[in-house]
Structure 1
Amino acid sequence: MTPILEVRDLSRHFGAIRAVDRVSFRLAPGEMLALIGPNGAGKSTCFDMLMGQTDPTSGQVLLDGRDITGWPARRVWRAGVGRTFQVTATYGSMRVVENVQTALMSHHRRSFAAWPRFRRLYREEAMALLEQVGMADQAGRPAAVLAYGDLKRLDLAMALAHGPRLLLMDEPTAGMAPAERAALMELTAGIVARQGMAVLFTEHDMEAVFGHAHRVLVLNRGEIIADGPPEAIRADARVQEVYLGGGTEALAAEARDG
């Protein structure tokens, strides 16, 4: 089976600093892969290269077997890669449903010049996406008044507007209460199972990582130091030394602090 995402020896150097150094991995349909590591490990730089926001120094990124290395972000997005952000990218002055309609209009390449006339466009599609993330009952509310957990779900609905094959989630549970974190990750896992897309996510909440990732990739100083199922990563001595802090106590503290 062709992986949805294949990364081959991907590197990004800033002068003498090797932010990402020869990173390689594959991501299969229906798989949730967590990318973890200490601050400065290279996670954000890796994400930015996959999304076309930073050019790699060397290496390749393949999406469904097609080389997309160095493509601009908009072209990567249109090829089937979605992204959610640690800080949600929603429009506070618009209603919830209008935020999703905006994402759909971009997907369908419709002009925003006559927005009042187009406010009815793609409304059914937008409502279906909101239903999918449990936000249909809040469709008419301004995004500015939403609780933070609801904003995260709206952000997810917008990222799903173009039916991505691959979804990149940058710290999806950051700033959320524990119950909201679990609900969002369960929601995402359900969408992955139904649609067969692949998810790559960064996360500091170890409960989210070990509870929902099928596989965990650990970066340290730009290099992969471990790649495997959650239980193997949890028990890996080197991962404990450089990130988890050497044992169960540190792991529990990491989960509490997010």
Structure 2
Amino acid sequence: MDKTEPPLLQVTGLSRAFGGVQAVDQVGFDLAAGEMLALIGPNGAGKSTTFNMVGGQLRPDAGQVLLGGVNTTGLPPRAIWRHGVGRTFQIAETFASLTVLENVQMALLSADRRIYRFWRPAGLHRPADALALLEQVGMQAQADRPCSALAYGDVKRVELAMALAHGPRLLLMDEPTAGMAPAERQALMALTRQIARERRMGVLFTEHSMDVVFGQADRVLVLVRGRLLAEGTPEQIQADARVQEAYLGAGFDVGAAA
């Protein structure tokens, strides 16, 4: 990460209310190219609302989102995707009946703005590029297996390859390790961290597993009741008395959270 460069993502004054409830109130932060930034907080803190405003699923009441200096505030998800934003979901979204390779080829079809036609198999589209993406996430050897036959941790790797198909500058990961065993989730996020460095791709992720947050994030943002309570390195956040009181609890131990 080169801190002398302008931030890849700049969020300022982001706010959103639902009825009389202020879910997010004047939240702002930056994200650098190649940086892993975790967004954490207790239930109801505004994490999902903030995340979805950046990704276009929700329109903010106020504030601004700049990606590479381009204003993407309020654009629909498809338009934001075209600006170079990828996304993975809490529940992995793959085509269970297709092979691992065909899933990535479907993502490449979308990236190329090609229409998938049932009489022209997706397997004909850029197989070498799809295999290269699978190699990057450690799934090339399982390219011919149907996604329905994979372990859940491997499905998440396929989803990651699909998210990378259009070469995003920013990757949004919503609870990426939900439902995974500790070793699997550390491996997935360590892989994501490596890819982010290699591609200079920024990663913003929400996560409840504190071992992942403090083991893989470069910086951490803590939301409480819709407002930004603290931000800093994992070490700074763990030592912050306000964060301990509002979320982590006194004497929090990362190892115990694994």
Q: Does 1:247 align with 2:251?
A: yes
Q: Does 1:105 align with 2:112?
A: no
Distance (whole Å) between structure 2 residues aligned to residue 136 and residue 106 of structure 1: 21
Contact 2:41–2:223 at 8 Å: present in 1 too?
yes
* Aligned twin of 2:169: 165
Residue identity (%): 62
Distance (whole Å) between structure 1 residues aligned to residue 65 and residue 252 of structure 2: 35
Q: Does 1:55 align with 2:59?
A: yes
Instruction: Give the letter for the 1:233 counterpart.
Output: I
Q: Which runs of 5+ in 2 are unaligned?
A: none
Q: Does 1:67 align with 2:71?
A: yes
Distance (whole Å) between structure 2 residues aligned to residue 130 and residue 41 of structure 1: 36
Q: Does 1:220 align with 2:224?
A: yes
**Shift of residue 116, structure 1, vs aligned partner:** 2.9
Distance (whole Å) between structure 2 residues aligned to residue 110 and residue 145 of structure 1: 28
Give secondary structure in 2 for the equivalent of 1:116: coil
Residues 156-191 of structure 1, C-alpha deviation per residue, up to 9 Å, x if partnerless?
000000000000111111111111111111101110
Q: Does 1:237 align with 2:233?
A: no
Contact 2:168–2:201 at 8 Å: present in 1 too?
yes
* Aligned twin of 1:12: 16
Moved over 4 A (4+): none
**Shift of residue 118, structure 1, vs aligned partner:** 4.2
Q: Does 1:201 align with 2:220?
A: no
TM-score (norm 1): 0.96
* Aligned twin of 2:49: 45
Instruction: Give the letter for the 1:226 counterpart.
Output: A
**Shift of residue 30, structure 1, vs aligned partner:** 1.1
Cα 1:230–1:49 change in 2 (3 A) is: same
* Aligned twin of 1:29: 33
Q: Does 1:176 align with 2:202?
A: no
Give secondary structure in 2 for the equivalent of 1:38: coil
**Shift of residue 81, structure 1, vs aligned partner:** 0.4
Give secondary structure in 2 for the equivalent of 1:144: helix
Give secondary structure in 1 for the equivalent of 2:198: helix
**Shift of residue 55, structure 1, vs aligned partner:** 0.5
Distance (whole Å) between structure 2 residues aligned to residue 46 and residue 106 of structure 1: 26
Distance (whole Å) between structure 2 residues aligned to residue 14 and residue 203 of structure 1: 23
Instruction: Give the letter for the 1:33 counterpart.
Output: L
Contact 2:174–2:205 at 8 Å: present in 1 too?
yes
Distance (whole Å) between structure 2 residues aligned to residue 169 and residue 17 of structure 1: 26
Cα 1:134–1:18 change in 2 (3 A) is: same
Distance (whole Å) between structure 2 residues aligned to residue 40 and residue 216 of structure 1: 18
Distance (whole Å) between structure 2 residues aligned to residue 233 and residue 248 of structure 1: 11
Give secondary structure in 1 for the equivalent of 2:120: helix
Contact 2:105–2:122 at 8 Å: present in 1 too?
no
Task: Pick the aligned partner of 1:80 from 80, 84, 92.
Answer: 84
Contact 2:101–2:123 at 8 Å: present in 1 too?
no
Residues 196-241 of structure 1, C-alpha deviation per residue, up to 9 Å, x if partnerless?
1100111111111111111000001110000111111001011001
Contact 2:137–2:161 at 8 Å: present in 1 too?
yes
**Shift of residue 117, structure 1, vs aligned partner:** 4.2
Distance (whole Å) between structure 2 residues aligned to residue 115 and residue 218 of structure 1: 49
Residues 116-162 of structure 1, C-alpha deviation per residue, up to 9 Å, x if partnerless?
34421111111000000000000000001110100110110000000
TM-score (norm 2): 0.96
Distance (whole Å) between structure 1 residues aligned to residue 255 and residue 129 of structure 2: 41
